[in-house]
Amino acid sequence: MVGFEGVESKQIDVVISNDMAVRFDEDDKTFTTAEGVAADITVKSVLDKNALEDCLLNLASVPQAHPSVLTFDALKSGSFSYFAERYPTFYAFAFQGVHPHTCLDYVVDFYQRHPWIPKNRYPRGIIVNCEYLIEYRLTDAIPLLAQLQKQELFILQSSTKVFKGIHLFKC
């Protein structure tokens, strides 16, 4: 993917963009603009610590949407901020991986060592096929004084619970 000022992301294996996104094909590579992407997915055969860190760094490299590209008079106030905080959605997928709790520990450790990565560049899910899902949630809670607080959550779930017996690939 490419950002407003020409900044390129690292390798993203699957890019889901809308049909209005600008796309460039050059030197056997395809580029699309960050503002037109709905989701990005990195894929690994085996998710160990090194592969996980590669996935997370690649997703973090995706350029931020630029307000001059997505600012229109017809949009209500705050629309760009809402969009930039939530899109694109990121996922990491692997066919096999380390023990679920070990992977969760790796994820937490990674983000503690990389505090510069914006929260909107965290993957919504890290999926190890037929085994588990580590889901990242950013929840908003409005206290009595109407101040917005954000609580970060990494949630580990078994895939049979999450997908109710429907696996992405044959197990």
* Proportion of the chain above pLDDT 90, given as a percent: 34
H or E stretch at 81: helix 79-86
Mean pLDDT of 16-40: 76
In the predicted structure, residue 50 carries a pLDDT above the cut 90: yes
How high does pLDDT run on average in the chain? 77
Residue 2 inside a domain? The answer is no
Cβ-Cβ contacts under 8 Å for 137 (sequence gap 6 or more): 152, 153, 155
What is the pLDDT, as a whole number, of residue 42? 95
- In sign, the C-alpha dihedral spanning 70, 74, 80, 82 is negative
Residue 5 inside a domain? The answer is no
More confident residue, 64 or 78: 64
Residue 8 inside a domain? The answer is no
What is the per-residue burial (b if ≥16 Cβ within 10 Å, else e) of 119-158? ebbbbbbbbbbbbbbbbbeeeeeeeeeeeeeeeeeeeeee
Residue 22 inside a domain? The answer is yes
Domain limits at 143? 14-162
Residue 4 inside a domain? The answer is no
Tokens of 65: 């949407």
Residue 7 inside a domain? The answer is no
Tokens of 103: 């992977």
pLDDT band at 89; cut points 50, 70, 90: confident
CA separation for the pair 159, 134 (Å, rounded): 10
Residue 84 inside a domain? The answer is yes
Number of domains, the chain: 1
CA separation for the pair 59, 42 (Å, rounded): 8
Cβ(88)–Cβ(41) under 8 Å? no
What is the pLDDT, as a whole number, of residue 13? 79
Q: Tell me the per-residue pLDDT of 117-154, one tens digit each, with 9 for 90 and over.
A: 998 899 999 999 988 999 887 655 434 433 434 445 77
